[in-house]
Chain A
Amino acid sequence: MSILVGEDTRLVVSGLTGREGSYHALNNRRYGTNVVAGVTPGKGRQDVEGIPVFNTFRAAVATTEANTAMIFVPPRFAADSILEAEDADIATIIAITEGIPAHDELTVYNVLKRNPDVRLVGPNCPGVLSPGKANVGIIPAQFFKPGNVGVVSRSGTLTYQIGNELAQSGFGNSSIVGIGGDPVPGSSFVDVIALFEADPETELIVMSGEIGGSAEEEAAAYIAEHVSKPVVAYIAGLTAPPGKTMGHAGAIVSGSSGGGQAKIDALEAVGVRVGRTPTQVARIAVEILGG
């Protein structure tokens, strides 16, 4: 088992005919992901190395039975593309695009929350990798192998850093989920942790958070009530000055909210062990798993 993407994934890529979209979609296919279609308005009937391109998501789904979408179009078109995927009954939408306007994300979030059958991961995220099964997005799969650690993170490179240290200690991953660094993520820590809790393959959950917002505090409250598996956490940005956006649009300490120490305190209060550096996180995980 794994979560969100796996052997059943049938992937349609919005933006397949673009330079970045085709590069990463083909990379995903080489990894073993079943890439069944692309969507680019006006380029229907073309193909990208044998992957058929459709003008609309509805046409792509009707012909290929795609069940998962990867959004790789520029920011100004991304919200529209996500809504189109939802309209075509795609169950899992993974949005890689960075720089989508906040109000567009608000609209998308509020439309999708009315539909219990759809899940959005991202935007502004590296995607989801289930090692040995499927890779949807831009996570460099070569650093990861199958295993029992589930990873959920707001940051891409930090995930690679922590995952790589775990791999060097001999541990692999059930799935690695980037939820993205934007203020309105489609899936929160809580959403993904719930999936890992229910996934029989996952024995330990690593969550990598950062300053800004309150998603980590909400995760702490959820873990206390609903999670039986051990969780190890990391919070980036403890020393970031207030009022400054640290790269990710969502990474900002505003007034008294969003600070790193409060997140650490909330997690530790419910028994989550928090590493002070990525290396410490990997060490704690290895210790719990009995490495």
Chain B
Amino acid sequence: MDLLEYKGKQVLARYGVRQLAGGEAATVDAAVAVAEEIGFPLVIKAQVKIGGRGKAGGIKLANSVDEVREHAESILGMDIKGHTVHVLYLERASEIETEYYAAVVFDRSAKAPLVMFSTQGGMEIEQVAEEHPEALATLHLDPLVGFQPFHARRLAYEAGVPADVVRGVGDMLATLYEVFVGEDATLVEINPLVITPEREVMALDAKVTLDDNAMFRHPDNATLDDSSDADPQEVMARQRGLTYVKLDGDIGIFGNGAGLVMSTLDVVAHAGGAPANFLDAGGGAKADAIVASVEVILSNPNVKAVLFNVFGGITRCDEVAKGIIEAYGILEPTVPFVVRLDGTNDVAARKLLADADLPYVYPEATMDGAAARVVALAREQGGGS
């Protein structure tokens, strides 16, 4: 779960990370109310889960209520690389002496937490690594040992931090690691981390990603989830407990097992089509789960045809066939279905489908054949690609 900046800052605040006064607002009037409370000058920032919002015009300085109104109006509803701005964060502007970068990352290749610190803040870390490698210090930690004070000193001195803020920077890094472990985060990134003229260390931005699998340990963090910019099909799928990712194409995909579904998307693309979604019904899906899945797939108006590609291991193909027949009866689809069922109870499944004799349901024997068929049918329905 990726957190918006202001939610990430709420998490950091629990650990005492210093930040400037601020507040979020979803309307222009609410923005004015926040502005009057925190005072001027202030910065208005679009809350989106994507970088580059400053360049896109999503960050503005305001010195008066009129300017807050003007900028809030222009930023709310703005599209930043496909993300619509629904919320603003208003933050008191302050003097900044230096901008640094700090992050704790779950490094899956090294199978260890990676702490990164740089005296070049405010730009992408990849760019720092390329242009100023001397200003970037990195360190893999042993999770069984954790973050020790010497780790902080090593990073601060290696990156060339002035002596009077070594302690402040070190404390900040220790706190970020505490957040990383304490909240089951996979990313805690502060860019920029700023030093004020009073030599205080503060978080000016926050990028926090939490591990969905660990939510049971943090029931309070459920409120940090932000679905205001989520896709309607993805919200619907989540409510039904399905693994669904919306894509740009027009061919609905139903499958079981993440790998086979990914492979199905590729095979459809290989056949010249464009998948409309990723949907993994999981192992052992029963008829009602299949009806729920079909409902989600068909609720996407772009869908011109649907491909069911199942290899039954734990999942029984006859259950899938029953689900398809039931879904067909309940939902009365107007687009064709291509069905390829292989594996456990496949013979019974094919017989069920043959007996049901549904119009616009096309059985196919192989994965490649099914992909070719569904692409052709989508084209007949006026589909693109």
Contacts and interface: CB of A to CB of B under 8 A. Distances in A.
B373 to A, nearest CB: 15
Nearest to A139: B313
Contacts of A126: 313
B362 interface: no
B217 interface: yes
A160 B278 contact: no
A164 B336 CA distance: 28
B259 A181 contact: yes
A241 B265 CA distance: 11
Given A111-B144, A239-B269, A102 B213 contact: yes
Contacts of A181: 258-259
Contacts of A208: 259
Interface in A159-208: 159-161, 164, 181, 183-184, 208
Given A100-B213, A239-B265, A277-B270, A164 B343 contact: yes
Given A99-B213, A213-B108, A237-B266, A107 B144 contact: yes
Contacts of B266: 236-239, 276-277
Interface string A91-119: 00000000111111011011100000000
Contacts of B255: 157
A102 B184 contact: yes
A252 B312 CA distance: 25
A15 B22 CA distance: 49
Contacts of B223: none
A155 B269 contact: no
B259 to A, nearest CB: 2
Interface string A133-152: 00000111011000000000
Contacts of A276: 266, 270
Contacts of B259: 153-159, 181, 208, 210, 236, 247-248
B261 A277 contact: no
B112 A237 contact: no
Given A110-B111, A248-B259, A279 B311 contact: no
Contacts of B342: 161, 164
Interface in B199-255: 211-214, 216-217, 243, 245, 247, 255
Nearest to B263: A236
Nearest to B260: A157
B366 interface: yes
Contacts of A214: 109
A256 to B, nearest CB: 8
Nearest to A235: B266
A253 B350 CA distance: 37
A236 B256 CA distance: 14
B262 A75 contact: no
Q: Which of A143, A159, A213, A246 has the most CB of B within 10 A?
A: A246
A138 B314 contact: yes
B333 interface: no
B142 interface: yes
Interface in B171-197: 181, 184, 186
Nearest to A258: B108
B359 interface: no
B142 A247 contact: no
A223 interface: no
Nearest to A252: B108
Contacts of B383: none
Interface in A246-287: 246-251, 255-256, 276-279
Contact of B313 (A153, A157, A246, A249): A157
Given A140-B314, A183-B108, A278 B258 contact: no
B143 interface: yes
B318 interface: no
Given A101-B213, A143-B343, A156-B313, A247 B258 contact: yes
Contact of A251 (B211, B258, B313): B258
Contacts of B265: 237, 239-240
B211 to A, nearest CB: 5
A127 to B, nearest CB: 11
Closest 5 CB pairs of A and B: A155-B259, A247-B258, A157-B257, A158-B259, A101-B214
Interface of A: 75-76, 99-104, 106-107, 109-111, 126, 138-140, 142-143, 153-161, 164, 181, 183-184, 208, 210-211, 213-214, 218, 234, 236-241, 244-251, 255-256, 276-279
Given A157-B313, A164-B342, A246-B278, 16 more contacts: A75-B216, A101-B213, A102-B184, A102-B213, A107-B143, A138-B313, A154-B259, A155-B257, A157-B255, A157-B257, A161-B263, A239-B275, A240-B265, A248-B259, A249-B212, A277-B367
